[in-house]
Structure 1
Amino acid sequence: MKELSSSIPMYEKIFNETRSLIETGVYRSGDKIPSEKELADAYNVSRITSKKALDLLAAEGAIVRMPGRGSFVSPDSPDGPRPGRAASAQTAERAVPAAKEKMIGLVLTDFSASYGTRLLYSMEEFTRKNDCFLVLRRTFGDQASEESAIQKMRGLGVDGLIVFPAQGEYFNAEILKLVIAEFPLVLIDRKLKGVAAASISTDNAEAAALAVNHLFELGHRNIALLSPPPRDTTAIEERIEGFVRAHADCGIAADRGLWMNDITATLPDAFYASNIEQEIQRIAEHLESHPDITAFFAIEYYIALLAKAAAERLGKKVPQDLSIVCFDSPTLNVGEGYLFTHIRQKEEEMGRLAIESVLGILAGTQPAAEVRLPAELVPGSSTAAARKG
Structure 2
Amino acid sequence: MELNRKSDKPLYKQIEDIIINKIKDGILKPGKALPSERELGKELEVSRLTVRKAIQELEQKGILYKIQGKGTFVNDRKKAGEHGNKIGVISHLYKGVFMEILEGIEEGLESESYEYLLRNSQNDYKKEENIIQAMKEEGVSGFIISPVEDQKDSNVIFNLKAEGYPIVLIDRKLNYCETDCVLSDNIDGGFKATEYLIKLGHSRIAFLTYEFRKTSSVRDRIKGYRYALKLNQLELDERLLFSYNKDLSREEKNKILYNFIKENKPTAIIGVHNDVALDVVKMCRANNISIPEDISIICFDNTDIVRHLEVPLTTLVQDARKIGYDAAKLIVKKINSQEETGIMNQIYHPVKLIERNSCKSILQKNEK
State the TM-score, normalized to the length of structure 1. 0.68
CA contact (8 A) 1:168 1:231 kept: no
Question: Counterpart of 1:201 in 2: which secondary structure?
Answer: strand
CA offsets 1:5-60 (integer angstroms, 9 cap, x no match):
xxxxxxxxxxxxxxxxxxxxxxxxxxxxxxxxxxxxxxxxxxxxxxxxxxxxxxxx
Worse overlay, 231-240 or 210-219:
231-240
Distance across 2 between alignment mates of 1:387 and 1:283: 25
Q: Structure 1 residues 307 and 336, CA, compared in 2 at 3 Å: closer, same or farther?
A: closer
Post-superposition shift, 1:387? 7.8
Determine the structure 2 residue equivalent to 1:344: 317
CA offsets 1:308-367 (integer angstroms, 9 cap, x no match):
111222221101111001100214799786531111001011001101110111111774
CA offsets 1:165-185 (integer angstroms, 9 cap, x no match):
111154722101011112110
Determine the structure 2 residue equivalent to 1:216: 198
Determine the structure 1 residue equivalent to 2:262: 288
Q: Structure 1 residues 133 and 371, CA, compared in 2 at 3 Å: closer, same or farther?
A: same
Instruction: Write the letter of the residue equivalent to 1:107.
Output: I
Quick check: which has more Rg, 1 or 2? 1
Question: Counterpart of 2:353 in 1: which secondary structure?
Answer: strand
CA offsets 1:88-127 (integer angstroms, 9 cap, x no match):
xxxxxx999477xx211111111323x2111111111222
Determine the structure 2 residue equivalent to 1:297: 270
Q: Structure 1 residues 201 and 251, CA, compared in 2 at 3 Å: closer, same or farther?
A: same
1:361 to 2:342 alignment: no
CA contact (8 A) 1:109 1:138 kept: yes
Post-superposition shift, 1:140? 1.1
Post-superposition shift, 1:259? 2.6
Question: Counterpart of 1:129 in 2: which secondary structure?
Answer: coil
1:279 to 2:262 alignment: no
Determine the structure 1 residue equivalent to 2:348: 372
Aligned pair partner of 2:106 in 113, 124, 130: 124
Determine the structure 2 residue equivalent to 1:322: 295
Instruction: Write the letter of the residue equivalent to 2:315.
Output: H
Q: Report 1:22-171 matches (<5 A).
A: 97=82, 102-113=85-96, 115-168=97-150, 170=152
Distance across 1 between alignment mates of 2:138 and 2:83: 17
Distance across 2 between alignment mates of 1:383 and 1:117: 27
Question: Counterpart of 2:347 in 1: which secondary structure?
Answer: strand
CA contact (8 A) 2:189 2:351 kept: yes
Instruction: Write the letter of the residue equivalent to 2:91.
Output: L
Q: Structure 1 residues 362 and 317, CA, compared in 2 at 3 Å: closer, same or farther?
A: same
Q: Report 1:211-290 matches (<5 A).
A: 211-261=193-243, 263-265=244-246, 270=247, 275-290=249-264
Structure 1 residue ranges without an equivalent (≥5): 1-93
Worse overlay, 336-345 or 372-381:
336-345
Q: Which has the higher contact order (CA 8 A, sep 6+)?
A: 2
Q: Structure 1 residues 387 and 288, CA, compared in 2 at 3 Å: closer, same or farther?
A: farther
Aligned pair partner of 1:187 in 169, 172, 177: 169
1:310 to 2:283 alignment: yes
Determine the structure 2 residue equivalent to 1:91: none
Worse overlay, 337-346 or 146-155:
337-346
Determine the structure 2 residue equivalent to 1:68: none
Distance across 2 between alignment mates of 1:337 and 1:136: 35
Distance across 2 between alignment mates of 1:124 and 1:234: 25
Distance across 2 between alignment mates of 1:334 and 1:195: 36
CA offsets 1:241-288 (integer angstroms, 9 cap, x no match):
111110001101121112312x231xxxx4xxx533322221011112
Instruction: Write the letter of the residue equivalent to 2:257.
Output: I
Among all aligned residue pairs of Structure 1 and Structure 2, give the percentage whose two residues are the same amino acid: 23
Distance across 2 between alignment mates of 1:363 and 1:147: 25
Worse overlay, 377-386 or 321-330:
377-386
CA offsets 1:70-104 (integer angstroms, 9 cap, x no match):
xxxxxxxxxxxxxxxxxxxxxxxx999477xx211
Distance across 2 between alignment mates of 1:107 and 1:140: 10
Q: Structure 1 residues 172 and 349, CA, compared in 2 at 3 Å: closer, same or farther?
A: same
Q: Structure 1 residues 171 and 328, CA, compared in 2 at 3 Å: closer, same or farther?
A: farther
Q: Structure 1 residues 173 and 369, CA, compared in 2 at 3 Å: closer, same or farther?
A: same
State the TM-score, normalized to the length of structure 2. 0.71
Q: Report how many aligned residue pairs link the two structures.
A: 284
Q: Structure 1 residues 334 and 251, CA, compared in 2 at 3 Å: closer, same or farther?
A: closer
CA contact (8 A) 2:81 2:165 kept: no
Question: Counterpart of 1:210 in 2: which secondary structure?
Answer: helix
Determine the structure 2 residue equivalent to 1:172: 154
Instruction: Write the letter of the residue equivalent to 2:198.
Output: F
Instruction: Write the letter of the residue equivalent to 1:264.
Output: N
Question: Counterpart of 2:357 in 1: which secondary structure?
Answer: coil
